[in-house]
Amino acid sequence: MDAVEKANADRQKRWAKDQKIGEGTYAVVYRGRELATGRKVAIKKIKVGQFKDGLDMSAIREVKYLRELKHQNVIELLDVFSSKKNLNLVLEFLDTDLELVIRDRSLVFLPADIKSWMAMTFRGLEFCHRNFILHRDLKPNNLLIAANGHLKLADFGLARDFADPGYKMTCQVITRWYRPPELLFGCRYYSTAVDIWSVGCIFAELMLRIPYLPGESDMDQLKTIFRALGTPTEEDWPGHTKLPDYVPVGQFQKTPFRDLFSAASPECLNLLSKCLIYEPRRRISAREALYHPYFTSHPHPTHPSKLPKPADKTSATLPLEELDGNAEPNGNGPGVKANPPNKLKRKLSSDELSGGGRSIARKLDFTQQRQTVQ
Amino acid sequence: MAAGQPSHANAEASSSKHSIYEASTQYRHWRFSPEQLVDTRASLNAAAVSVIRDAFEADEARSSTTVSFLDANEESLLVKLYVGKVSQLCGHFRFPEEVEATAMSYLKRFYLKNTVMDWHPKNVMLTALFLATKTTNNPIPVDTYASHIPKTQPSDVLDLEFLVAQSLGFDFAVWHAHRALWGMSLDIQVLPELTREEVHRVYQIALNHVRASRLTDAELIFTPAQIALACLSLASPHLAVSWTRLKLAEDADMLLSAIQPIKDMVVAHGSSPDVEAVRDVDRRLKLCKNPEKVMGSRAYMKKQQEAERRADEKRKRKAAEVRRAMEEGDPFGSELARDGAMDDDDDDD
């Protein structure tokens, strides 16, 4: 046996797959453990043979970035090995995700809980940005939560390094409800600010317990944003009318945050508003956000171990959520009673099923890259 | 952990522990001393020769006595030739410099884990480059890629992809000296004594030295910034000093003396190898390559058959287990992963 094969076989022997917990278009996920320690892990087996162009881009991105990123608020890639023509990613096992937490209507959030989740999100994101990496798919179900309550950024299948000035990037990234207006206007040069917008949307969702800006199409997404935040003026966002896909979508007045988020503190609304500034260059950075008074004012953030989380019984099937967006572990399962009053149910929304959602964004992403990046 | 208490100190803590570069896989897995490099290659070569000798013997007794195997230096020479060929190919495709530099790093790293007597660099090079287009986010369809390369099928490229990725330990991210040099060129623009044209001229010369450095082991020994500074110093010793003083007042001299070995290395080894010498190596390689890797050879067939036999055995064993479980009345088999080993991998492909 070659040395390389042998090293691979040795690595493979460290892990055991226990149970298949889900299957998506591009991966099968197993619950497993480290044999030496019994530590629980998730093993994501990526089927390689079926791709015409060899190793698939989202697998490559995920491996590339997770190999480099080690941080308490980023999911840890413990090992990579191959078995026959499959690529196996050994990931730390995480119990649940923020979407399931938000949807679980039996859970009550305190302002301090939201502050804790936000702090961990910003900390993980700051680390990515400090490493010159854009996540490009932040949303509640990509924020996973460990048994000890720690929140971790996951799913780096759409991530990329910062482009050099003058190099185009695709604007077909980020799940629609969390996508910033510059991408909806077709902007091909963008920055860390795109991730910050997504965090702003998540921040609002934590307070509202329903998605803050649930557009039904890309066009409707802009309208939804403007209805909530007011149509931007040239002063708010210089030059936005010159963006490639700019279309006027009507004049709307901003709904004051105070009306919608009546219980929030002034610092809280100040940080939220800075995440949702139209002009990307004025939007707050992850690093600045960590220094924002919101995090140092009372109440102090809840300790992660004390954060609300869904009841235990669901945990066996949850990692699917992170590991493959196409997987439907147990249908309505834990979310049934959590259907938001406005009937917006993310999993079964037209967004996910008929093609506006993440899987499509990913598909588009590849073709776009090919046409544009070179 | 203090995750619930964001504080300035905490945000600082993770950054002060390590520089970003020190946390990279490049720093952690692909950094050697010159001695380690020599040792690694020598022991890899010795192990390969011994394995291949056995393969020859197994095929036909005493057939290995007449074979003259390549030594580690000869292997390196051949690899170097193909590292250089990556540039030509990239010029043809008009790939960005990052693709080229990454593919070259991959090729060098690959041969710290493999021998040319198993895998010829002319094949590995094509796969390393194709993989680099993807890992640097410049993907092109494999059909297009292969159609631009004479006598190459998509399968030639893809068949080795897994082996290459595995040999790289799936460490796809590479930090490059040309990026560091670009940063330095931006820095030196603020120096008062320089015109724009002067900066540009020096940068171009230094960049050519960086490109030459890719034919050496520099990136396996030094950091990208060290290599960039050495190349800047080759282009303009005076500017390298100014830049260093600008950046670190006290330690400037230490750093400047530390880059001398890199300058020597780039000057001594930064050009393509003598083609005649390589041709001789390549000629001998035809005779000493691992017969088990030569498709269609007797040794290859034998190895394939052995692999098939083992797979067949495993299938039978599994079937027997299922049967036994059925008889015992549990249609789902006995408890999962009893022996813990993960050999049940074909359950769903």
Enumerate the residues of chain A whose CB falls inside 8 A of the CB of residue B157.
54
Q: Is A28 annotated as a binding residue?
A: yes
Cβ pair A126:B166 closer than 8 A = no
* CATH code assigned to B177-269: 1.10.472.10
Residues 186 to 225 of A: which have CB under 8 A from any B CB? none
Residue in A72, A152, A83 with CA at minimum distance from that of residue A117: A152
pLDDT tops 80 at residue A141: yes
Concerning whether A137 is annotated as a catalytic residue, the answer is yes
Contact with chain B for residue A290, Cβ under 8 A = yes
Which residues 6+ apart lie within 8 Å of A145 measured at CB? A94, A95, A96, A97, A98, A101, A151, A152, A307, A309
pLDDT of residue B295: 66
Q: Is A302 annotated as a binding residue?
A: no
| Closest chain B residue by Cα to residue A306 | B4
Write phi, then psi, for A330 (nearest 5 degrees): -140, 45
Cβ pair B139:A57 closer than 8 A = yes
Cβ pair A49:B336 closer than 8 A = no
Round to whole Å and give the CA distance between A318 and A100: 9
Nearest to B14 among A71, A150, A291 (CB): A71
Nearest C-alpha of chain A: how many angstroms from B170? 7
Enumerate the residues of chain A whose CB falls inside 8 A of the CB of residue B92.
none
Contact with chain B for residue A363, Cβ under 8 A = no
pLDDT of residue A15: 93
pLDDT of residue B250: 77
Q: Is A202 annotated as a binding residue?
A: no
Enumerate the residues of chain B whose CB falls inside 8 A of the CB of residue A53.
134, 139, 141-142, 158
Specify whether the CB–CB gap between B157 and B126 falls below 8 A: yes
Nearest C-alpha of chain A: how many angstroms from B331? 16
Round to whole Å and give the CA distance between A273 and A257: 8
According to DSSP, residue A304 is labeled G
Nearest to B5 among A80, A86, A301 (CB): A301
Taking only the tens place, the pLDDT of each residue in A162-212 is: 988 888 999 999 999 999 999 999 999 999 999 999 999 999 999 999 999
Domains of chain B, residue spans: 24-174, 177-269
Confidence of residue A329 (pLDDT cuts 50, 70, 90): very low
pLDDT of residue A1: 55
Contact with chain B for residue A64, Cβ under 8 A = yes
Contact with chain B for residue A23, Cβ under 8 A = yes
* Measured CA distances, A110 to A172, A208, A306, A337 (Å): 35, 12, 11, 20
Cβ pair B4:A53 closer than 8 A = no
Nearest to A53 among B118, B142, B342 (CB): B142
Which residues 6+ apart lie within 8 Å of A325 measured at CB? A24, A141, A155, A352, A357, A358, A359
- Give the pLDDT mean for A103-131: 96
> Dihedral angle at the C-alpha atoms of B77, B82, B87, B93, nearest 10 degrees?
180
Alpha helices in chain A (DSSP H): 3-12, 57-68, 98-103, 111-130, 181-184, 193-208, 218-229, 257-260, 266-275, 286-290, 293-296, 319-323, 350-353, 358-372
Which residues 6+ apart lie within 8 Å of A135 measured at CB? A125, A128, A153, A156, A158, A159, A195, A198
Residues of chain B falling short of pLDDT 50: 1-15, 336-349
Nearest to A64 among B130, B135, B346 (CB): B135
Confidence of residue A312 (pLDDT cuts 50, 70, 90): low
> Between these two residues, A11 and A192, which has the higher pLDDT value?
A192
pLDDT of residue B202: 95
Q: Are strands A160-161 and A133-134 parallel, antiparallel or unpaired?
A: antiparallel
Round to whole Å and give the CA distance between A170 and A186: 9
Contact with chain B for residue A58, Cβ under 8 A = no
pLDDT tops 50 at residue A374: no
Round to whole Å and give the CA distance between B11 and A250: 42
Specify whether the CB–CB gap between A156 and A62 falls below 8 A: yes
Q: Percentage of chain A surpassing pLDDT 90?
A: 67
> Between these two residues, A49 and B287, which has the higher pLDDT value?
B287
**What is A96-309+349-372's CATH superfamily?**
Transferase(Phosphotransferase) domain 1 (1.10.510.10)
Cβ pair A80:B340 closer than 8 A = no
Q: Is A223 annotated as a binding residue?
A: no
Structure tokens at B137: 């986010």
- Give the pLDDT mean for A285-307: 96
Write phi, then psi, for A305 (nearest 5 degrees): -65, -15
Amino acid at B68: S
pLDDT tops 70 at residue A340: no
Write phi, then psi, for B82 (nearest 5 degrees): -80, -25
According to DSSP, residue A142 is labeled G
Same fold, B24-174 and B177-269: yes
Size of interface A-B (CB pairs under 8 A): 157
Instruction: Give the least confident one: A265-269, A355-359, B73-77, B142-146.
Output: A355-359
Cβ pair A4:B24 closer than 8 A = no
Q: Is A199 annotated as a binding residue?
A: no
Q: Which of A56, A97, A137, A365 is catalytic?
A: A137
| Closest chain A residue by Cα to residue B183 | A164
pLDDT tops 90 at residue A365: no
Which residue carries 């046409």 as its tokens? Answer: A371
Amino acid at A124: G
Q: Is A54 annotated as a binding residue?
A: no
Write phi, then psi, for A91 (nearest 5 degrees): -115, 155
Write phi, then psi, for B200 (nearest 5 degrees): -65, -40
Enumerate the residues of chain B whose CB falls inside 8 A of the CB of residue A45.
345
Structure tokens at A45: 């087996």
Residue in B294, B338, B292 with CA at minimum distance from that of residue B317: B338
* Measured CA distances, A244 to A173, A189, A215, B332 (Å): 16, 11, 20, 57
Which residues 6+ apart lie within 8 Å of A327 measured at CB? A22, A23, A24, A29, A320, A321
Helix (H) or strand (E) holding A41: strand A40-47
CATH topology of domain B24-174: Cyclin A; domain 1 (1.10.472)
Q: What share of chain B is helix, strand, coil (3-state, %, to 5)?
A: 70, 0, 30
DSSP A86-125: EEEEEEE---EEHHHHHH-TT----HHHHHHHHHHHHHHH
pLDDT of residue A8: 85
For chain A, the average pLDDT equals: 83
DSSP B278-337: HHHHHHHHHHHS-GGGSTTSHHHHHHHHHHHHHHHHHHHHHHHHHHHHHHTT-TT-SSTT
Round to whole Å and give the CA distance between A338 and A332: 10
Round to whole Å and give the CA distance between B245 and B241: 6
First to last CA, chain A: 39
pLDDT of residue A80: 92
